[in-house]
A and B are shown apart, each in its own frame.
Chain A
């Protein structure tokens, strides 16, 4: 049973990807992807419902270790080759160093017979949460991509790859991501990690334009650098600590490898100063962005840090991660204010939230970890939804600039409402993101610097979300409002995802109480010194007792009052906006006024972007420098030991 589940989760999507590539026509591909997505989410939900288990393959062939070696070496060679083809010396160096590290790893591995045993799968609650996110949200994104890519193919540049290839990498990505979160063996972990790197490279480069290739190259460079750090960690773990498992490293308290793994994770989860690859990845088709930001890729990094967190409580590494994460949270939120490109705003918001997850892992108490898990889950659902919405809007209005999104409320009513729900779920109670931010602030009150950064970050976060929400719902009354016609696959994915977001949002506190609270208490059992553990548990209990019912009752009341007010205030009372009395009264000119020489002119006030402070060109170099210094402080002043 367990072997079947693990096999389905890992090889199911990969097989579906191959079938989608080989599929002769569009209709057969739709069939394959829809069936595959439905099956994959069913298996994912079933696995999560069934609960945690440990699994070691019962049959393990003598050439198994060699096969793993071959796979890893093959990936190194591919990376080197891509680097050579793209004329990037840095990537070539990464590839060669990785190859050397692979050889070193193998040298130590074959010296220790214990290390050549069958790789071990550890399916604990954390992995199950990730599996649930990857299978359900990832599948929905794949379904959405069916409609999106068909439209995309019409106006894509001639250099773009085929849609079959696109779906191969998209589905395959889900398979290797599942493998990343299910395995305990570091070598398998690294093989799959590199596979996600290569998948993301292929997906970002999909359009084949110069910009796409440059972004893909940058993504490959950053994540391959992280992969190199991971391989070094693996080699040191084998050589010095004689273990090839993550649990082994954690049990041994092997700080050097754990630190290297964390650095690898930071590159993947795009915290400052590694954020630029994720911003560049925005040139890819929108389903790719959605996938990279919500279900896969960046979540691999945060998953690794969350997994390792309990093993470094109270160390320098923990403090540095907390600072680095909180710094990323505040700075990325600030940078998002200065952006008018919707996808870049979403990207900075992702970076900011990933920073908060890392920061919470660095604070490293049960409450902080619970907050991190909340963000991980709710962010995945909401951000996946928002990317899909922005993709839809972009295809419909032909622009991804926020300032162009005023008035989409009557061009795309359904999409606008779904987008608004998605944004509200990032910001407003009773949705989970707000609760997790609240928990993060409460968890950080014992370290002043982190606290200040988190507080500043949440104020800045509020600014860019409210600005954007205000812009997209801008309307006056309009004579006609027609539902837009979207491809069924896109509409299905949007509706299902928004229902998931709503359900999770309303059930955020019960979810925390039922799953996250026992989970973090168990994770930290005996890991904290007595005072801190007691403190944090008291806080955790206090947080869990929050009564959500006043929120629901009052918001429900407000909504009912709004619905009821039509009957209370009878008649139509719509008027034009106040434009000093100079309104132009014509059916299509509700916002125009008579300007100079009695010429109609459009009334328009742009949003504030505060670019004198929050511009990328001014802020990014300093932010990167500071973040790099924070990271470097790991390696100076007494190393990584506590």
Chain B
């Protein structure tokens, strides 16, 4: 392993939570402005995590805490596999297992709220997982390779060949980042669902780890959006910024849907968009 690889891996582990936290802070600020409020400082997520880290590590049982570490480890695995240029489908699986670890952690106590949140998280995964897998397949078909390293060397932006997949991914990202109308399992900001559902029984440093994982996830979603125009990185970042703003707007203007209608919507419109786009690639 070369020094360069080590540096890249370290960068992939350290930079995303910082950027993700800033984005999350921006999210809260912009949301506040939409609502005519001043809002917290952009650094608020850092304060939150630092505070949570100092709180008492309250648990219900020992087993549960293992899953918090797994939740974070799988998300870090996503980053490492991505910078190493590994198979994108494997990256996606690692990403899914990050959520599964959280679900198992939430289900390992007999707390009805946390269990309901976990069940709803499973439904969320059921809703977006096919879209994400097909998105990766679409990218792979277009690149003729599943390798993440090949995505950098492309003659033209991915958005040209996968416009509908981008739209579908946008909807999936709403679920991924727990935004309305799909924040059924848990939600950030002050509006709670099921008294914080899946994260309810985690507190103190464990909640901090979950927050950090969420920062990774925010970064990941934005990075994937940027990948759709990676040939010119500036445009890619612009695309991600536009997508992020779109997510915040949708979050602010929509009411929460039921789990059932979430799955129905995801398995019809975005999934169909993805399938149509992919079928077009086979031509």
Contacts and interface: CB of A to CB of B under 8 A. Distances in A.
Interface string A567-578: 001000111111
A554 B279 contact: no
Interface stretch (B108-116, B172-180, B220-228): B108-116
Nearest to A573: B58
Interface in B74-102: 74, 76-77, 80-81, 84, 86-87, 89-90, 93-94, 96-97, 100
A475 B67 CA distance: 14
Interface string B193-209: 00100001100010000
Looking at chain B, what size class is its interface with the partner chain? 35 or more
A554 B90 contact: no
A356 to B, nearest CB: 15
B65 A463 contact: no
A220 B84 CA distance: 53
Contacts of A561: 69
A608 B122 contact: yes
Contact of A438 (B69, B93, B278): B93
Given A442-B146, A546-B86, A573-B58, A407 B96 contact: no
Contacts of A546: 86-87, 90
A557 interface: yes
Contact of A455 (B80, B109, B133): B133
A459 interface: yes
B119 A577 contact: no
A437 to B, nearest CB: 8
At the interface, is chain A mostly helix, strand, loop or mixed? Answer: helix
Contacts of B185: none
A577 B57 contact: no
A427 B116 CA distance: 22
Contacts of A575: 58-60
B111 A470 contact: no
Contacts of B84: 547, 550
A467 interface: yes
21 contacts: A429-B90, A442-B87, A442-B140, A455-B133, A456-B130, A459-B129, A462-B100, A462-B129, A463-B125, A466-B100, A469-B107, A543-B87, A554-B74, A555-B73, A565-B69, A573-B58, A576-B60, A577-B201, A578-B113, A579-B112, A603-B111
Contacts of B278: 448
A562 B65 contact: yes
Contacts of A542: 87, 145-147
A569 B86 contact: no
Interface string B115-128: 11011001101100
A530 interface: no
B151 to A, nearest CB: 14
Contacts, number: 177
A558 B72 contact: yes
A86 interface: no
Contacts of A380: none
A462 to B, nearest CB: 7
Interface of A: 406-407, 409, 427-429, 434, 438, 441-442, 445, 448, 451-452, 455-456, 458-460, 462-463, 466-467, 469-471, 473-477, 539, 542-543, 546-547, 550-551, 554-555, 557-559, 561-562, 565-566, 569, 573-579, 590-591, 603-605, 607-608
Contact of B66 (A559, A573, A591, A608): A559
B137 interface: yes
Contacts of B81: 550
6 pairs of A and B residues whose beta carbons are closest in the complex: A470-B107, A577-B111, A558-B73, A558-B69, A569-B57, A605-B112
A438 B66 contact: no
A550 B111 contact: no
Nearest to A478: B61
Given A463-B122, A558-B73, A573-B56, A578 B195 contact: yes
A429 B87 contact: no
Interface of B: 56-63, 65-66, 69-70, 72-74, 76-77, 80-81, 84, 86-87, 89-90, 93-94, 96-97, 100, 103-104, 106-116, 118-119, 122-123, 125-126, 129-130, 133-134, 137, 140-141, 145-147, 195, 200-201, 205, 275, 278-279, 282
Contacts of A452: 134, 275
B89 A442 contact: yes
B146 A474 contact: no
Contacts of A539: 146
B185 to A, nearest CB: 12
Contacts of A543: 87
A550 B80 contact: yes
Contact of B125 (A455, A459, A554): A459
A452 to B, nearest CB: 7
B66 A475 contact: no
Contacts of B100: 427-428, 462, 466
Among A542, A555, A605, chain B packs the most CB atoms within 10 A around the CB of: A605
Contact of A445 (B56, B109, B137): B137
Contacts of A473: 63, 104, 107-108
A470 B108 contact: yes
B59 A573 contact: yes
Nearest to B111: A577
A451 B89 CA distance: 13
A554 B118 contact: no
Contacts of B119: 467, 605, 607-608
A189 B96 CA distance: 43
Contacts of B73: 554-555, 557-558
Given A407-B110, A475-B61, A604-B112, A438 B125 contact: no
Contacts of B201: 577-578
B110 A476 contact: yes
A448 B279 contact: yes
A475 B109 contact: yes
B123 A466 contact: no
Contacts of B147: 542
B97 A428 contact: yes
Nearest to B119: A608
Given A445-B140, A459-B133, A554-B77, 11 more contacts: A428-B100, A442-B146, A469-B104, A473-B104, A546-B87, A550-B81, A562-B66, A575-B59, A577-B111, A603-B110, A608-B122
